[in-house]
Chain A
Amino acid sequence: MPEPPREIFFASIGELNAMLRAKEITAVDLARAFGARLESLGPRYNALALPLTERAIRQAKAVDGDIKRGRWRSPLQGIPWAAKDLLSVAGQPTTWGARPYAGQVFDYDATVVRKLEGGGALTVGKLAMVALAGGPGYRYAAASLTGPGLNPWDKSRWSGGSSSGPAIAVAAGLVPFAVGSETSGSILTPAAFCGVTALRPTYGLVSRYGAMPLSWTLDKLGPFCRSVEDCGLVLEAIAGGDRRDPGTSGKSFYYAPQYARKINDLRIGYAPGDFAEWPEEGARPVFEQALEVMRGLGAKVVETRLPDLPYGPAIGTIISVDAASVFEPLIASGKVEDLADRKQIAGLKAGLEIPALQYLRAMRVRRLVKQEIAKLYAEVDVLMAPSRLGTAPKVSEPLDHRPDRQAPKDRGLTALIPAGNLAGLPALALPCGLADNLPMGIQLVGPAFSENTLLAVGKEFQARTEWHKRRPPGVA
Chain B
Amino acid sequence: MKNKITRRELAGTLLATTAAAQAPQAGAPDELQEARDQNRRSGEALAKVELPQDTEPAFHFSA
- Mark each residue of chain A from 246 to 264: 1 if its CB lies under 8 Å from any CB of chain B, else 0: 0101000000000000000
Closest chain A residue, CB of each to CB of B19: A337
- Mark each residue of chain A from 383 to 410: 1 if its CB lies under 8 Å from any CB of chain B, else 0: 0000000000000000000000000000
Q: Which of A203, A342, A360, A423 has the most CB of B within 10 A?
A: A342
Give the Cβ gap from B10 to chain A, nearest Cβ, in Å. 13
Which residues of B have CB within 8 Å of A313?
41-43, 45-46
Give the Cβ gap from B13 to chain A, nearest Cβ, in Å. 13
A350 & B35 in contact (Cβ 8 Å cutoff):
yes
A217 & B18 in contact (Cβ 8 Å cutoff):
no
Flag whether A11 is at the interface (Cβ < 8 A): no
Q: Answer whether A366 and B57 are a contact pair too, CB < 8 Å, given A310-B45, A338-B18, A361-B47.
A: yes
Docked Cα-Cα span, A99 to B22, in Å, equals 14
Which residues of B have CB within 8 Å of A342?
22, 24, 28, 31
Which residues of B have CB within 8 Å of A361?
43, 46-47, 49, 51
A358 & B61 in contact (Cβ 8 Å cutoff):
no
Docked Cα-Cα span, A338 to B42, in Å, equals 27
Which residues of A have CB within 8 Å of B43?
313, 317, 354-355, 358, 361
Docked Cα-Cα span, A354 to B55, in Å, equals 21
Flag whether A367 is at the interface (Cβ < 8 A): yes
Q: Which of A406-435 contact B (CB under 8 A)?
A: 423-425
B63 & A363 in contact (Cβ 8 Å cutoff):
no
A203 & B62 in contact (Cβ 8 Å cutoff):
yes
Q: Which of B15-63 contact A (CB under 8 A)?
A: 15, 18-19, 22, 24, 28, 31-32, 34-36, 38-39, 41-43, 45-49, 51, 55-59, 61-63
- Mark each residue of chain A from 346 to 360: 1 if its CB lies under 8 Å from any CB of chain B, else 0: 110111011100101
A337 & B18 in contact (Cβ 8 Å cutoff):
yes
B63 & A202 in contact (Cβ 8 Å cutoff):
yes
Q: Which of A316-360 contact B (CB under 8 A)?
A: 316-317, 320, 337-338, 342-343, 345-347, 349-351, 353-355, 358, 360
Closest chain B residue, CB of each to CB of A345: B31
Give the A-B contact count at a CB cut-off of 8 A. 110
Give the Cβ gap from A85 to chain B, nearest Cβ, in Å. 20
B38 & A349 in contact (Cβ 8 Å cutoff):
no
A368 & B51 in contact (Cβ 8 Å cutoff):
yes
Q: Answer whether A424 and B62 are a contact pair too, CB < 8 Å, given A314-B46, A316-B38.
A: yes
A249 & B63 in contact (Cβ 8 Å cutoff):
yes
Which residues of B have CB within 8 Å of A203?
61-63
Q: Answer whether A350 and B19 are a contact pair too, CB < 8 Å, given A247-B61, A363-B57.
A: no
Cβ-defined partner of B32 (8 Å) among A346, A362, A424 = A346
Docked Cα-Cα span, A137 to B45, in Å, equals 19
B35 & A424 in contact (Cβ 8 Å cutoff):
no
Docked Cα-Cα span, A370 to B59, in Å, equals 12
Flag whether A448 is at the interface (Cβ < 8 A): yes
Closest chain B residue, CB of each to CB of A363: B57
Q: Answer whether A346 and B31 are a contact pair too, CB < 8 Å, given A338-B15, A358-B43, A358-B46.
A: yes
Cβ-defined partner of A365 (8 Å) among B19, B28, B41, B51 = B51
Give the Cβ gap from B38 to chain A, nearest Cβ, in Å. 7
Flag whether A309 is at the interface (Cβ < 8 A): yes
Closest chain B residue, CB of each to CB of A217: B61
Which residues of B have CB within 8 Å of A347?
35
Flag whether A449 is at the interface (Cβ < 8 A): yes
B51 & A364 in contact (Cβ 8 Å cutoff):
yes
Give the Cβ gap from A104 to chain B, nearest Cβ, in Å. 15
Which residues of A have CB within 8 Å of B49?
309-310, 361, 365, 368
Give the Cβ gap from A213 to chain B, nearest Cβ, in Å. 14
Give the Cβ gap from A449 to chain B, nearest Cβ, in Å. 7
User: Would you list 6 pairs from A and B whose C-beta atoms are within 8 A, ordered by A residue?
Assistant: A217-B61, A337-B22, A363-B58, A364-B57, A367-B58, A425-B63
Which residues does A use to contact B, with CB under 8 Å? 99, 137, 202-204, 217, 247, 249, 309-310, 312-314, 316-317, 320, 337-338, 342-343, 345-347, 349-351, 353-355, 358, 360-368, 370, 423-425, 448-449
